[in-house]
Amino acid sequence: MMRFRGGLLLASVAAISVSGFAQNNGGKVSFANSGSKSAQAPFLNGLAMLHNFEYDIAAKDFREAEAIDPDFAMAYWGEAMTHNHPVWNQQNRHAGLAVLGRLSATPEERLAKAHTEREKDYLRTLDVLYAEGPKPERDRRYAETMAKLYAKYPNDVEAAAFYGLALLGSQEGVRNERVYMQAAGILIPLFYKYPHHPGIAHYLIHSCDDPIHAPLALPAARAYSKIAPDAAHAQHMTSHIFLALGMWNDVVQANEAAMRVANEQRAAEGKPAGHCGHYSYWLEYGYLETGQMEKAKQGLLECRADAVRAQEAALARNAVDPDDSNLSSYIEMQNRFVVDTAQWEGGDAASLSQASENAMLQFSQDYGAGLAAAERGDLQVARKSLSEMEALLPRIPTMFDREGSAADEPERLVPEIEREQVQALILADEGKLDEAVTVARKAAEAEMKLPYAFGPPEPAKPSYELLAELLMKENQPRLALAAVKESLLRAPNRTQSLALRERASAAVSGAGSPAD
């Protein structure tokens, strides 16, 4: 349970029986409502943690508010909202409806328990979000409904925040620059008006989470970890902007804090510390970019130990997301470590088990093994890995099929680019540099066309960086320099690309002509 302290942010709607406002370690929130006074603290704590995407904690707090006041309509609204994860393109419609069903069986009966028109309006939004029909259509109509709510209550910071989030969610997990900037346009002025609100800072970071727009959210990134010190996701979330700008020391600091908070929460629940997952993966990348190789290796080994214990369960439930699977997390971290340290002899160590039942895990293992083998010149292993990747490719798209998944989401398209990378390196080993460059350029152009996906580069080896390396082998430093500059547009300040740029620039200058 989050600690509760009184705050000063005034409720945005007056003439309601209870004007709720709170300052807790999840951030400062205000939501005027008709719930009982004794239910306010857990309700507001839950609302803050909902904004922080700490969904399990938020649901627990909302249920506490419901236990105190069984007819507290907005507590059920809040708990139902914890089953919709817009930016992650995840939604459990049945669980959300089950929560609402505990309030009352029908929408009309639920509205009768909401004592103000504003509360009724909030409940009506869930009738749209969790209605019948395809998820993309429901998400679109939900965003339209939130737009109307925001227009009706223009001084309601919660309506503004959830409208911004609904816009992000309407794109089904794929970054749409126009829509994301529409959300940013709503959130930027509100961040300066409500500098302690967790949702405003959080959703602004998501809106600007790419190298071009990241500077717009740098003040929010600097503030967010202090706004919500008890939210592990808030500590990590700041690093989205830091990574997009290549601010590696800040990436490390943010994810070390996220790991600490997450493991403190695990300890409080009697659980052992975790070493895999989203924060671990970003932290490893930060360590690699700052040259802290021993820490990166230690983190990798700790995740491996967790993965060994969990691999059978991961295979059984067909888990492919590194955020949800220790085994998948380890494979991704191992591939990243091998690529960014160029320790190619370790490339075959990713396999922990016979993971062939899970096509995506096996493909990721084969990618790492094939890349490493080709880089060290072991054509037999590289060709075997490539053959296995090609056999698995037809099975990969179904691994990402879920309600609302977009046909152009990057994770669907990355495997073919990874296959082309391994193929290009094999061609180079065979002395077919021209063909290798052609294949690598195809991979690079395909990667550049993908919607920007936040986080460490995917594939683990940026394709334009690979192309630049092959062009250097072909003694074309000027073309290599152009390629690595393209790579730095997508992964600013990446240490490996910067070193390659220096090498290419020196080669161009040595040839007697300027680098630019």
DSSP string, 60-120: HHHHHHHHH-TT-HHHHHHHHHTTEETTTTEE-HHHHHHHHHHH-SSHHHHHHH--SHHHH
* Residue 513, both tokens: 């002509």
Q: What is the DSSP letter of 33?
A: B
* Residues linked to residue 28 through DSSP beta bridges, in sequence order: 23
Instruction: Tell me whether residue 38 is in a domain.
Output: yes
Instruction: Tell me whether residue 263 is in a domain.
Output: no
**pLDDT of the residue at 8:** 27
CA separation, residue 111 to residues 105, 157, 272 (Å): 11, 22, 43
Reference 70, options 35, 109, 23; nearest CA is 35
**pLDDT of the residue at 84:** 98
Question: Are 224 and 469 a contacting pair, CB within 8 Å?
Answer: no
Question: Are 370 and 382 a contacting pair, CB within 8 Å?
Answer: yes
Q: Cα separation of 68 and 413, whole Å?
A: 49
Instruction: Tell me whether residue 299 is in a domain.
Output: no
Instruction: Tell me whether residue 311 is in a domain.
Output: no
CA separation, residue 449 to residues 182, 245, 455 (Å): 22, 20, 17
Instruction: Tell me whether residue 198 is in a domain.
Output: yes
> Using CB atoms within 10 A of its CB, is residue 399 exposed (0-12), middle (13-18) or buried (19+)?
buried
Q: How many domains does the chain have?
A: 1
pLDDT in tens, the chain (516 residues): 332 223 323 233 222 334 444 446 899 999 999 999 999 999 999 999 999 999 999 999 999 999 999 999 999 999 999 999 999 999 999 999 999 999 999 999 999 999 999 999 999 999 999 999 999 999 999 999 999 999 999 999 999 999 999 999 999 988 999 999 999 999 999 999 999 999 999 999 999 999 999 999 999 999 999 999 999 999 999 999 999 999 999 999 999 999 999 999 999 999 999 999 999 999 999 999 999 999 999 999 999 999 887 655 544 444 556 666 888 899 999 999 999 999 998 655 445 554 556 888 899 999 999 999 999 999 999 999 999 999 999 988 766 665 556 666 667 889 999 999 999 999 999 999 999 999 999 999 999 999 888 899 999 999 999 999 999 999 999 999 999 999 999 999 999 999 999 999 999 998 655 555
Residue 85 phi, psi (nearest 5):
-120, 80
**pLDDT of the residue at 506:** 97
Instruction: Tell me whether residue 445 is in a domain.
Output: no
- Write the single-letter amino acid at 357: E
**Residue tagged 């879920």 (tokens):** 402
Angle between helices 410-429 and 463-473 (to 10 degrees): 10
Q: What is the CATH number of the domain that holds 114?
A: 1.25.40
* Residue 395, both tokens: 């099975």
Give one DSSP letter per residue of 448-478, joined into a string.
HHSPP--SS-SSSS-HHHHHHHHHHHTT-HH
The helix/strand count (H/E) of the chain reads as 24, 5
pTM here is 0.90
**Which structural domain, as residue segments, surrounds residue 181?**
1-225
CA separation, residue 274 to residues 26, 343, 429 (Å): 22, 26, 40
Question: Are 257 and 226 a contacting pair, CB within 8 Å?
Answer: no
CA separation, residue 512 to residues 342, 417, 468, 509 (Å): 30, 35, 20, 5
Instruction: Tell me whether residue 492 is in a domain.
Output: no
- Whether residue 477 has a cis bond before it, omega within 30° of 0: no
CA separation, residue 289 to residues 13, 25, 225 (Å): 48, 31, 22
Instruction: Tell me whether residue 343 is in a domain.
Output: no
**pLDDT of the residue at 323:** 62
